[in-house]
Amino acid sequence: MRGWTRPVLLALLVLAVVLSTPIVLIESVCRASREPLVRPPAPLVTEPGYGRREADSYLSFPEWHIVYAYEDLAGVLQRGDESDFAYGRQIVGFWRSLCGLTRVVTAQGGVALDTRVMLYTIGWSFTAELALKGAYENTVGRAFERLRGAGKTAEDEFAARDMKAYAAFLRLTPWYEYPFGSRLAAFWRETPYRGAQAGRKLERRAVFTSEYGVKAVSGALIGLASATALGAADLEIHTVVIGLEPGDVAPDRRITIVRELGAGRTLIRSPRHQPYTDLVVALARRGRDIAEIAGNRRILVTVLAPKGPLPSLPSVTPLFEVAIQSRPDRRRIGLDVAVERLAATIRQLDKAGVSVEHVYDY
């Protein structure tokens, strides 16, 4: 037993250093000095349940970075293999985005403890998963790819299709609600046991079964733990829209009118996350404007843009730019946008051929 003490303690020490280093850096280097306090305008709505923390718009991007990473992996798998994916770049991208956006929000105020804990938890979960996948796929996985040759097995093709479905699922629903168990059953049911490249077939079956089996169990446990914590208030958001007309509301079940505020302003309630982006873009294209979102006057938006400069956008500050491995003709750009200019900015971007990817609700 004594012979194991030193290596075990050393391993624990190394693990502690690895886990704590990004957190220490973010809590120190990635914090900005507080800017002079400027009293913001009073919210247009004062009733309980309306306001949300402005920092949550910016700090929700690292969560979405994980969604985009899986979308990128799905895109890579449409033409290549798992070993082609830049796992390390995605890991670095998560922590870099968290660092940069922490600077943005700490210049205006603090970051809530629950937000920090959540981001560090999902960050290390994402890091561990991609580090393990990257280490395996670039060694053992790559060796089996070479033994297989150019043609993909049925197992390869199923995994590529399911990764695309999983990435689309993540835009609307938490990962732990994905039906990993039924998809694993479908994998064994739909992919033939026999065929060429037997070594690759067996190796992919083992990898897919291990990954989906672990995720099915852990996802079920997390889902049970989260069932009582999620409510309707967390899934909806309030927006003050200018110039809303009955024709905007009647065909769109996402919009619930709460009340008229006067001066052409209407308070609405709608779903959050990806449906919210779709709704805001649709309203902007219909010529509607937005005065306020959940009591806030600035918001983070990402766009997918071709090479070249963006058009001149008043009240918009570029925050970051990220390359997309599966779409080299596009780059993801993060913009800090004044809410009152959000709809006009969307219309300007449309004219320039730049698509709005996501509006990060609070």
Shared domain check, 247 and 222: no
Shared domain check, 102 and 239: no
**pLDDT number for residue 294:** 96
Predicted structure pTM score: 0.91
Residue 14 included in any domain: no
Nearest residue to 23 via CA among 102, 104, 120: 120
Shared domain check, 200 and 180: yes
> Is beta strand 236-242 parallel, antiparallel or unpaired with respect to 289-293?
antiparallel
For 274-325, how does the pLDDT look when each residue is reduced to its tens digit (9 = 90+)?
Answer: 999 999 999 999 999 999 999 999 999 999 999 999 999 999 999 999 999 9
Domain's final residue, options 226, 243, 274: 226
> Is beta strand 256-262 parallel, antiparallel or unpaired with respect to 289-293?
unpaired
Shared domain check, 348 and 215: no
Shared domain check, 340 and 296: yes
Nearest residue to 129 via CA among 175, 96, 169, 78: 175
Shared domain check, 240 and 222: no
| Residue 2: band (very low, low, confident or very high) from pLDDT cuts 50, 70, 90 | low
Shared domain check, 115 and 166: yes
Residue 78 included in any domain: yes
Shared domain check, 236 and 218: no
Shared domain check, 261 and 203: no
> What φ, ψ does residue 277 adopt, rounded to 5°?
-60, -45
**CA dist., res. 290 & res. 166, Å (int):** 32
Residue 281 included in any domain: yes
Shared domain check, 137 and 272: no
Residue 17 included in any domain: no
For 13-63, how does the pLDDT look when each residue is reduced to its tens digit (9 = 90+)?
Answer: 777 777 788 888 899 899 888 776 667 788 899 888 899 999 999 999 999
**CA dist., res. 232 & res. 237, Å (int):** 10
Shared domain check, 310 and 164: no
Residue 31 included in any domain: no
pLDDT at 233 over 60: no
Number of domains the chain is built from? 2
**pLDDT number for residue 23:** 86
For 64-92, how does the pLDDT look when each residue is reduced to its tens digit (9 = 90+)?
Answer: 999 999 999 999 999 999 999 999 999 99
Residue 10 included in any domain: no
For 91-124, how does the pLDDT look when each residue is reduced to its tens digit (9 = 90+)?
Answer: 999 999 999 999 999 998 889 998 999 999 999 9
> Using an 8 Å Cβ cutoff, are 349 and 311 in contact?
yes
**pLDDT number for residue 260:** 95
Domain's final residue, options 195, 226, 257: 226
> Where does the chain show beta strands of DSSP type E?
236-242, 256-262, 265-271, 289-293, 298-305, 316-323, 331-338, 355-360
* CB neighbours of residue 10 within 10 Å: 10
> Using an 8 Å Cβ cutoff, are 87 and 132 in contact?
no
- The amino acid at residue 47 is E
Residue 79 included in any domain: yes
Residue 315 included in any domain: yes
- The amino acid at residue 306 is P
Shared domain check, 51 and 178: yes
* CB neighbours of residue 12 within 10 Å: 10
**CA dist., res. 237 & res. 99, Å (int):** 27
Domain's final residue, options 226, 245, 268: 226
Q: Which domain holds residue 292?
A: 232-360
